[in-house]
Structure 1
Amino acid sequence: MKLAILGGSFNPVHKGHLFLAKQAADEYGYERVLFIPAREPPHKTLASGASDTDRLEMLKRALNEYGDNRFFIDDCELKRSGPSYTIDTVYDLEARYAGALEGKIGLIIGSDLAADFGKWKNADLLAEKADIVLGCRPLRDDEKLPEGGFSVAEAGVPDKPHRAGEHSGAGGTFPRPHLQLHNEFCAVSSAAIRRMTAEKKDWKALVPASVYEYIVQRKLYGFK
């Protein structure tokens, strides 16, 4: 079985996460993609507004609504104490899927994380043990929206999706061996959705309908 993982805070999960996972599975033939919500992201503070239970529930609803039978949730990092290090997750999955894996585990990351990959725990070892699948992501979670925000139509499911080109971080092209994902993307981040929610802007098109309903019902991220 060809296995890939997509980790993140999923705070909240949005359509960009789903598109990235689908295109990685389509392009490189992954039979299973595990969405792994982080308990304590090592390189950023987890934003408030949703509990671990909320984030997990939104992810469950999103994957159920999306209906791709290659997508699964693995909550191993939520169960693990301390920071959520990807290398520890890869070791864990190798042990649990021993004998069933075909090749290396695929590690799907966006180009927004490429510049800081060298700061990850055992980054060189991680790049050896996993096949890094580098997809294009237009925003980092700590980036701000342009003045006036952006078009929900363009950020949701654009009529003419952007096509990924070269994937580079602050220092240029990603310096480690990787599989380049020629993905289409929507210009959205979890941080942008949280801000738009608090600012009473229209963000409904950026997340699956079931996730939108959950955020509204639970009044997450300052929703009023």
Structure 2
Amino acid sequence: MKTGILGGTFNPIHLAHLRIAEEVRLACGLDRVLFMPAATPPHKPLADDIAFVHRYAMVEAAVADNPAFSACDLEAQRPGKSYSVATLEILHDRFPDDEFYFIIGMDSYRAIDTWKDYSRLFELTNLVVAARPGHAGDDPLALLPVVIRGQFCYDGPSNVLRHCSGNRVILLKETFLDISSTRIRQQVAEQGSIRYLVPSVVEDYICRHDLYRGRERL
């Protein structure tokens, strides 16, 4: 099975998350995409300190109408920081016959050397990099840390880097929706509208639980 993984804080999940997952699913021929909320993000504090239970519930609601999408709470099942390399190792143990496609944005790809055991990621998964407008022509090899560039060869016509493990780094030119979780949180805090930025079920959930207004209800 070809399994895509889209991680993040999902604080909250929005339509751009869903759209990029769908575009990668089609481009890479994936059988499913797992949406993986981070329990304890390693790179930055969690804005508004929204509990995992809320962020996971919003993801579940957002993906419920797509049979190829599902929410996964794996990163809440273990203690400590939600490191992607540890998540991928667990997924390999649970699904040894799956081929994994880990979906990240260009900003994350540029900072891959800040990830824990980043060189191990390329052994565990194909990496699908969703390029934002204006970055589609970036050289994917030149953006990698110098110390690991020798592990790759670049296939220009397919815009793919091939790792010595057999896995690939795939750069996609996406029809990127310009939506951010930060903007959504600000809109809610200012009592503005988030309609058409998030699925209606997520908008309803945020309203019911008073999220992003400092009055979180469990």
TM-score by length of 2: 0.81
Cα pair distance change 1:168/1:17, threshold 3 Å: farther
The residue that corresponds to 2:143 in the other structure is 174
- 1:190-213 CA-partner distances (Å, limit 9, x unpaired): 111111211223222100000001
- Provide runs of 4+ in structure 1 moved above 4 Å: none
Q: Answer yes or no: is 1:96 the counterpart of 2:94.
A: yes
CA contact (8 A) 1:105 1:131 kept: yes
TM-score by length of 1: 0.79
Find the partner of 2:110 among 115, 121, 138. 115
Note the C-alpha offset of 1:115.
2.3
CA contact (8 A) 1:108 1:134 kept: yes
Unaligned stretches of 5+ residues in structure 2: 150-160, 162-168
Task: Report SS of the residue matched to 1:184.
Answer: coil
RMSD: 2.2
Find the partner of 1:134 among 129, 147, 160. 129
Find the partner of 1:187 among 165, 178, 184. 178
**2: distance between equivalents of 1:84 and 1:167?**
29
Unaligned stretches of 5+ residues in structure 1: 138-161
Please identify the structure whose Cα radius of gyration is greater: 2
The residue that corresponds to 1:70 in the other structure is 68
**AA at the equivalent of 1:122:** D
Task: Report SS of the residue matched to 1:7.
Answer: strand
The residue that corresponds to 1:140 in the other structure is none
- 1:123-177 CA-partner distances (Å, limit 9, x unpaired): 111123211100035xxxxxxxxxxxxxxxxxxxxxxxx69723579xx953263
